[in-house]
Amino acid sequence: MGQAINIETIMGLIIHGGNAKSDAMEAIHAAKTDDFALAAEKLDSADKSLVEAHHAQTSLLTQEASGEELTVSLLAVHSQDHLMNAITFRDMASEVVDVYKKLAGVTID
C-alpha cells in the first residue's frame, strides 16, 4: 500500500483554492460597483493564492513522479476538485470584470 498523502498539503490546496475563489468573487462585487482598482487587487490576490495552491499540488506530483506510491483519499480528490473550481472561477471573474468595465466605458487592458 502507498504512503498516505500529507494532510497539510491537502488542506493547503483547499485553503488556497478557497481563498482564490473568494477573492475572485470579491473582484466581481467590486467591479459591479465600478471599483475597478479593488477588482484588480482582488484578482491579483486570487492569482497569488492559486500560485500557493499550485506549489502544494506540484509537491504531490513530484512525489509521485519520483516513484513514490501515494494513497489517494476522498479528501485528496476533493482538494483537487476545489483547486480546479477555483481556477475556473478565477478565469470567469476576469471576464465578468471586463464586462463591467465595458459597461462603465472603461478601456479594457
Which residues are part of the catalytic machinery? 78
Q: Please count the other Cβ atoms lying within 10 Å of the Cβ belonging to residue 10.
A: 21
Cβ partners under 8 Å of residue 92, min gap 6: 24
Query: Which DSSP category does 39 fall into?
Result: H
Distance, CA of 91 to CA of 33 (rounded, Å)? 20
CB environment 64-103: b (16+ within 10 A), e (fewer): eeeeeeeeeeeebeebbebbeebbebbeebbebbbebbee
